[in-house]
Amino acid sequence: MATTAAVGAAAVAQRASAQAQSIAEADRGGGRLQQSVCRWCFGKQSLEELCGWAKDLGLVGIDLLTPSDFPTLKQHGLVCTMVSSHPLTDGLCDPKHQRSSIEQIAAAIEATADAGFQNVICFSGNARGIDRNTGIKNCVTALKEVVPLAEKKNVTLNMELLNSRVDHPDYMCDRSEWGIELCKQVASDRFKLLFDIYHMQIMEGDLIRTIQNHHQYFGHYHTAGNPGRHELDERQELYYPPIASAIADTGFSGYFAHEFIPTGEPRAGLAAAVAQCRV
């Protein structure tokens, strides 16, 4: 009788373990969005450790790395979903910083193409007294110099939309309308916007409608909770499942990267974010 009971208990435990494993698998990456994670948010972890987490959670790669990091990524079968280039504040809208920015962007495009990756980030930079109309003209001039290289190398250059209210005062490309007009004037499939959901919630809200109406201009997405840029949890105002679904419903085939700063156990926070955004 004791043996039978033990066998029964073992069977129940085995079924429970299988169910737990099934739930865990369902919470991993995959689905219709190719999820990744930004390196800088997890600075307490080595790149090697973060790569292990990414693989375990079903992520396709890691965002915002430099070429020196590429060998580690490739050892884990991951990609750099967004390659870094020039400083955020010193960008393409200011003629004083255009030459340096263009050179760094060009070098990043070359390294990205050589590695077989797809995306390079760029920034408008801070306005420093330059008006919005002049800023867009300056950006167009600079981009038309470097975008042909991106076209030749089959690399997409992504200008990030950032908030100027909280985190990045004086940043020029701080609203989707401005960025979309820039895309129209550059007129290249190899120049897009990095739509940062956290930043655009602060600046303009109405995220899903913007994504639905203008998704053709968005080449990459970032996530984080607002306020605070922390986990995608109940302490913040954004509800990510319908946002992720809206992005997937546009047919988006690029990368969707988590860029929150963890306040709790970092791996658990990342796993929860991946689960929320799995479509």
- Spatial CA neighbour of 38 closest among 86, 81, 78: 81
Cβ neighbourhood burial of 11 (10 Å; 0-12, 13-18, 19+): exposed
The residue ranges of every structural domain in the chain are 1-29, 31-276
pLDDT classification of 3: cutoffs 50, 70, 90: very low
Instruction: Give the residue-averaged pLDDT of 65-87.
Output: 98
d(CA 162, CA 117): 24
Q: Which residues contact 205 (CB under 8 A, 6 or more apart)?
A: none
More confident residue, 65 or 13: 65
- Checking if the pLDDT of 122 tops 70, the result is yes
- Spatial CA neighbour of 148 closest among 182, 99, 111, 187: 187
* Rg of the Cα atoms in the chain: 21
- Which phi and psi (to 5°) does residue 64 adopt? 65, 60
- Which phi and psi (to 5°) does residue 2 adopt? -65, -40
| Residue for token pair 């470097």 | 146
Q: Which CATH superfamily is domain 31-276 in?
A: Divalent-metal-dependent TIM barrel enzymes (3.20.20.150)
Q: Check residue 161 and give its pLDDT.
A: 98
Instruction: Give the residue-averaged pLDDT of 99-116.
Output: 98
- Specify the pairing of strand 156-160 against strand 255-258: unpaired
Q: Check residue 23 and give its pLDDT.
A: 38
- Checking if the pLDDT of 13 tops 50, the result is no
| DSSP character at residue 141 | H
For 143-157, how does the pLDDT look when each residue is reduced to its tens digit (9 = 90+)?
999 999 999 999 999
Provide the residue count of the chain.
279
- Checking if the pLDDT of 106 tops 90, the result is yes
Q: Which residues contact 246 (CB under 8 A, 6 or more apart)?
A: 208, 211, 212
Question: Please, where are the H alpha helices in 28-94?
Answer: 47-57, 70-75
Assign residue 220 a region: left if phi > 0, alpha if psi is -120 to 50, beta otherwise?
Answer: beta
Q: Check residue 28 and give its pLDDT.
A: 62
| Residue for token pair 């550059």 | 186
Dihedral, 148, 152, 154, 160 alpha carbons, nearest 10: -20
d(CA 50, CA 24): 18
- Checking if the pLDDT of 29 tops 90, the result is no
Q: Check residue 27 and give its pLDDT.
A: 52
Q: Check residue 2 and give its pLDDT.
A: 43
